[in-house]
Amino acid sequence: MFNKNKKESRTQAEHTAVLEILGPGTPSRLGLTPEEKINILEAQKAYLEGVATLRDLIAPSAMRVNSRYVQIGEYFCRTLFVYTYPRYLHTDWFTPIINMDAIFDVGMFVYPQSSAMVLKNLTKTLAKISSSINVEQEQGRVRNPVLENASANVEALRDALQQGTERLFKFALYITIYGNSLKQLNKNTRRVETLLGSRLIYTKQSVFQAEQGFVSTLPLANDELFITNNLNTSPLSTSFPFVSYELSSNEGILYGINRHNNSLVLFDRFSLENANTVVFGKSGSGKSYAIKLEILRSLMLGSDVLVIDPENEYKYLASAVGGSFLDISLASPYRINPFDLTIAAREEKPADVLREAIINLKGLVRLILGGIGPAEDALVDEALMQTYAACGITAETSWEGKEMPTMSDFERILESTSGAENMAQVFTKYTQGTFAGIFNQPTNIKLDKQLAVFSIRDLEDELRPIGMYIILNYVWNIVRQELKKRILVVDEAWWMMEHEDSAQFLFGIAK
């Protein structure tokens, strides 16, 4: 299989490599001689030479090196190095480069320097500067601000190094710019030079070192240019490159594109400490469109969405995804009983659920009556408790399977309560008058779809804040029964914010 001369040309290092690969004791176990093992190694080597590696897949077919650039496949690249910095470097000075809409690689090399040697050199430098200042003073010359500033800077740096608050480093910064043509490469080069030059940071091209510059910005940690500047800790820290303003996570939905750097705004609201969002904008600016996009993408990730829609803007969306569209109005068949109670969860006590329901109902009563005083508040509180008690619902009993009271039951209790007759007359409009039926009947709504839209467009203006309040309370009770990922969208929430009680209720849900 292999000729004799090829066998005899093997070095001792190759023999050792074979023994290391096959392991000690192999000759005795396999009965192979060292020469036979050499044959096995050559066969393995011949096989591996015919196997395509990752390097073969990503490597270009050729690389052409010019004095000012390198051509790699169809791309041209050029490396710039920074050769001088201004006196002061501000934080995020490198941000415009990082956010530039172009392909480029950045190489940063930091070489720590010995503080003892640096202090020795600074002391010598300070002595020379002080000597020059003294000579000029003896000659009667006007003070030299350049020497005085240099003396102050050197002395401040020496003190910081001596105290250990600063260290000195050699810092090399290389930027390799790419373009699909020489014209594009030159354009990108001018952009980088202009951006850095506007900050008094000046660069040069790695002329006759194009290949070394390209290699220096590869992820190999190999500085083949070694063109450095002395920087202490404070200015060096301003060159931290990872300052791109990105809002992204591994999971979540796409919200848009970051206009600063064209990165994707991708995050999961449920992973945040506070998942609430408020959307502001003028009419026609795309608020509803943005919310509808989020709803669609959230539905694809399995989240339930509940929408309170004052203008029927979400009707087509509900139809398109097979959701529920619930028209809450005087003429519709859908009804919500504001006196409904949820079954207490495992960690909840029935008394707490009943108490919270009464508190929310008092907010509804205040919204209907337009505000009540402390005396009326006490009467309403007592009337609500009696309304539930009349149906056999108390803090000590379970109400599972029991019929819930309605607004008519509450009205009758108010009529029989001394001092509450006037309030009872107001509720007559909602039990027997113009608005009778809509909030005075048992609930007949089932939220069995992933998307549910509550439309209140056809509600009279007087009923809209009340309807939004009751729907929110109903939704909140549903949410508490089963904890899962849900999004509640309250469109045109300013209607609720106009009234103190409904605003407080919405604020309480958000908190």
The beta strands (E) that lie in 89-200 are given as 104-112, 168-179
Q: Which tens digit of pLDDT belongs to each residue from 274-294?
A: 888 888 888 888 888 889 999
Return the axis-axis angle of helices 407-415 and 421-431, rounded to nearest 10°. Answer: 150
Percent residues over pLDDT 70 in the chain: 90
pLDDT at residue 338 greater than cutoff 50: yes
Supply the Cα-derived Rg of the chain in whole angstroms.
39
- Averaged pLDDT, 384-412: 86
Q: Which tens digit of pLDDT belongs to each residue from 103-134?
A: 999 999 999 988 787 778 778 887 888 888 77
pLDDT at residue 21 greater than cutoff 60: no
pLDDT at position 501: 66
The DSSP bridge partners found for residue 266 are 248, 254
Query: Phi/psi zone of residue 246: left (φ > 0), alpha (ψ -120 to 50 degrees), beta?
Result: beta
Confidence of residue 28 (pLDDT cuts 50, 70, 90): very low
User: φ and ψ at 260, to 5 degrees?
Assistant: -75, -40
Q: Which tens digit of pLDDT belongs to each residue from 438-490?
A: 888 888 888 889 999 998 888 888 888 888 888 888 888 887 777 788 888 88
pLDDT at position 91: 81
Burial class of 281 by CB neighbour count within 10 A (0 to 12, 13 to 18, 19+)? exposed
Alpha-carbon span 18 to 36, nearest angstrom: 10
Q: Of 1.10.3720.10, 1.20.1530.20, 3.90.1170.50, 1.10.8.730, which CATH number belongs to 289-510?
A: 1.10.8.730
pLDDT at position 201: 94
Helix (H/G/I), strand (E/B), else coil: 71: strand
Name which of 470, 359, 365 is nearest 422 in CA terms: 365
- Averaged pLDDT, 32-38: 79
Sequential DSSP letters for 245-260? ---B-SSSEEEEE-TT
Domain boundaries, the chain: 4-54, 63-237, 253-287, 289-510
Alpha-carbon span 138 to 435, nearest angstrom: 101
Alpha-carbon span 371 to 145, nearest angstrom: 73
- Say which range, 150-159, 176-185, 205-214, has the weakest mean pLDDT: 150-159
Angle (CA) 480 370 453, round 5°: 40
Mean pLDDT of the chain: 83
pLDDT at position 345: 66
Alpha-carbon span 209 to 212, nearest angstrom: 5
Angle (CA) 163 169 173, round 5°: 150
- Averaged pLDDT, 149-176: 83
DSSP conformational letter for 84: E
Query: Phi/psi zone of residue 492: left (φ > 0), alpha (ψ -120 to 50 degrees), beta?
Result: left
pLDDT at position 27: 46
pTM (predicted TM-score): 0.54
